[in-house]
Chains A and B, each alone.
Chain A
Amino acid sequence: MKKSDFLGWKEVFAFSFEQGVKEKAFVVFLVIMFLVMLLATPVTTFFKQDDGEVKSSSIRTLQVYDLTGLPIAYAEAKLQDGYDKVQVVLAGTTLDAYETYVEKLAKEEAEAALAVKVEYSPEQGFVLTYVKPAEGVEEEDAEGLADQFTAYFELAKLTAIDVTIEQYAFLNRPVNTESVFLNASGEVVPPSQEESISLDQYYILLAGIVIITLFVSFSGGNIATSIVTEKSTRVIEYLMINVRPMALLTGKILGSLALTVVQFGVIGIGYVGSKYLTSALFGEQTQTESSFLEFLVNIDLFSAITAAVMILAGILIFAILAGLAGASASKLEETQESMKLFQMAMLVGTYGGIFLCIMQLTGMNAELLVSIFSLIPIFAPFIVPANLLLGEISVGYAWISIVLTLAVGAALFWFAARVYEALIFHTGKVLKLKDIIGIAKARRGVSDRKGEC
């Protein structure tokens, strides 16, 4: 590769990017995605709020049949969330009284009210049986009251036996065990670290894989289509008067990548905007959002830069594969067929990443697998960035992965450029991988720019 081989790539890049941005499909997609991202959280929060709106209960009385004999002052029960006006009454302390009430309820002789039987057995512990009349009490309302009363009973039973909440919490503290091992010299061997990741970390790894897969898929499709269009319309013949195939390929790949960056940038802005919009409108965050923001806040700059470089290096590999796919087809309708190799590589990378996530969650020798897979360029972009940000792999190791990915990318680009040159005037069917390799070896297409051989 010579410097002159890349002359004109900036013009090709600028044109590819500009035309991509002008395309109606691109603009429509961008607007829709932006609006979806911007409005998704506020809208769901609005409906959640609506769902959780406190309604006043229509139930006026809760009749308690306590068979435990515990000295609980039910009349003093203070219920919350719309049940504060419900009167809790100790209606009986025997099973007969309870059964008589149920019989009356069945014959519609009793007042339509919710009843609860409280009993205790050594086998089952405390059992609260709620009885709802067939009419007059809504199921949702009854369930809400049951939840409120059960929560009250949990505390009331402690008070009844003179146990404070603090004492109860103390008794419930877990008992952990730890083993200390000594080696042959009598020194303490440090305990092995926890190998499995948390559920939150698992979701972050998965989110990373999904984002990279979407990025690779969008940019790959753009690149292949753009290359095939130039070949099928014969525009390529005009471009090649002034620009070398290497520069053409570089400009097109970077142009399509830039378009994808814009897409994701806008989606990202929409997401951040939605967070601000939600807190401005509702002033709250869900627990998941808080832990995600906490994760973002804790990322150090160098790790973030390393992760970004890894993502770009990885996406570049897939972009070059897409370029290779485009080079092997000569008609637009053959683009999908030519993308088989690209799609297979993307799926292998994605599923490999998901497989590792599951392994990490279960903690089954995942550390070794993550280390190995991080060095394989097809998996690296799906695995390294999120694992690096979560502290599962070191920055140094991530850079080894980046260097390897870039080296493979450079070799792949050289190969793709040779194939692109050789197949510029190819008008036959989509070529198979072995044919492509054969052509790249022979390269019977474009020569060096100068007139000599």
Chain B
Amino acid sequence: MSLEVKELVKSYGEKVVVDHLSFALKEPGVYALLGTNGAGKTTSIRMILGMLSKDGGEVLWKGEPLDTSKVNIGYLAEERGLYPKYSLMDQLLYFAKLKGVNKEEAKKRIAYWASRLEVEEYLYPKTTKGKKKEKPKTAEQLSKGNQQKIQLMSALISDPELIVFDEPLSGLDPVNTDLFKGIIREEIEKGKYLIMSSHQMATIEEFCKDITILNRGEVVLQGDLNEIKKGYGRVNLFVKCDEAFGEIVEKHGLTVISDTPDGMQLKVSGEEVAQAFLSDLLAAGKNVVRFELREPSLHEIFVEKVGGNHEEE
């Protein structure tokens, strides 16, 4: 067990913002911290990384209290931070130096990541013959997406063993989202430990094995995502027929989640009920175009757990 978070507590005055949060990364992979805005995700991450004092609990790395000055950690914060007026290269070299990477090695890694993230033009000023050398680019000259790429470079430049991504894909276009996802996948394959916080449930489902859902600082759901889904069972039924089939739905007393021209989403109590419903559809001569029985998505679980019970910041 490499990272263990035990009973973390944080309060501001009377308000408890993180209430006895515990989880562990038993093996390399991605752990998801989910929750609505203000649920306590970023506060938890800041406590784990030692930026914020804890009112209770402890964080262990390989059985010892986590000392961020000794453990190689890569961090991509929710609020991106770069010096607006300093050259990007200088900043990356500075962050690398703080992480103990020497200048030569840092330059090699910057070159690799610049090429990987397609930001070479911002890091290496053009030298056209006969023309004055271009000035190095600064953060304020970049788009938000490109700033995020530089930020990702600074998080990964030390080749960290523990990586913390707080909303890594927010604000990215689909092309860059895929680029970031590819890099996350590579880091998982390299055997890294990742903690990820995101509002994009599909991304979490794509990468994470274990999750914790926070609501107002409290843990409302925690565990292996597959097990959680299994626990719910295959109760989500999606049906589309060429003809109307409302009377059969009524006959079986099924709950309608949504009814659109693209089909009807239903909630069933079990697989047997779904089978009986399908038999009746066929017996009634309906032309069934789509019949899909599946576990609930993380999005549906999330909404069920915190929907209507969260506070917006």
Contacts and interface: CB of A to CB of B under 8 A. Distances in A.
Q: Do A and B come from one complex?
A: yes
B25 to A, nearest CB: 14
B79 A445 contact: no
A239 B83 CA distance: 11
Contacts of B154: 238
Nearest to B90: A19
A57 B240 CA distance: 117
Nearest to A242: B98
A53 interface: no
Interface stretch (A227-235, A268-276, A309-317): A227-235
A414 to B, nearest CB: 17
B46 A447 contact: no
Interface stretch (A4-12, A93-101, A104-112): A4-12
B181 interface: no
B73 A453 contact: no
Interface string B52-74: 11111111110001111100010
A7 B68 CA distance: 12
B102 to A, nearest CB: 12
A242 B51 contact: no
Nearest to A226: B83
A446 interface: yes
B232 interface: no
Nearest to A451: B59
Given A444-B53, A445-B53, A453-B58, A238 B77 contact: yes
A9 B55 CA distance: 28
A450 B52 contact: no
Contacts of B65: 450-452
Residue from A244, A424, A450 having most chain B Cβ neighbours under 10 A: A450
B19 to A, nearest CB: 15
Contacts of B86: 19, 22
A237 B94 contact: no
Residue from B12, B48, B50, B58 having most chain A Cβ neighbours under 10 A: B50
A443 B61 contact: no
Interface residues of A, number: 36
Interface in B2-52: 12, 46-52
Nearest to A237: B77
A244 B85 CA distance: 24
Interface string A420-453: 0000110000000000000000011111111111
A241 interface: yes
Contacts of B52: 425, 445-447
Contact of A242 (B48, B54, B77, B99): B99
B50 A4 contact: no
Contacts of B68: 241-242, 449
B97 interface: yes
B294 interface: no
A229 B75 CA distance: 20
A19 B85 CA distance: 10
- Chain A binding surface, main DSSP class: loop
Given A450-B65, A451-B58, A453-B54, A234 B83 contact: no
B220 to A, nearest CB: 24
Contacts of B60: 451
A11 B81 contact: no
A22 B49 CA distance: 32
Contacts of B66: 450-451
A243 interface: yes
B51 A451 contact: no
B252 interface: no
Contacts of B99: 242
Contact of A424 (B51, B56, B75, B85): B51
A318 to B, nearest CB: 25
Interface in A1-30: 4, 7-8, 11, 15, 18-19, 22-23
A11 B47 CA distance: 24
Contacts of A235: 81-83
Contacts of B61: 451
Residue from A233, A241, A448 having most chain B Cβ neighbours under 10 A: A241
B84 interface: yes
A235 B99 CA distance: 15
Nearest to A450: B65
B49 A234 contact: no
A446 B98 contact: no
27 contacts: A8-B69, A11-B98, A15-B94, A15-B97, A19-B83, A22-B86, A233-B81, A233-B83, A235-B81, A237-B81, A240-B50, A241-B49, A241-B75, A242-B99, A243-B98, A425-B52, A444-B12, A444-B53, A447-B52, A449-B67, A451-B50, A451-B58, A451-B59, A451-B65, A451-B66, A451-B67, A453-B54
Given A449-B69, A453-B54, 17 more contacts: A19-B83, A19-B86, A229-B83, A233-B83, A235-B81, A237-B51, A243-B98, A425-B51, A443-B53, A445-B52, A447-B54, A450-B50, A450-B65, A450-B67, A452-B65, A453-B55, A453-B58
User: Shortest 3 CB-CB distances between A and B: which pairs?
Assistant: A451-B59, A234-B81, A447-B53
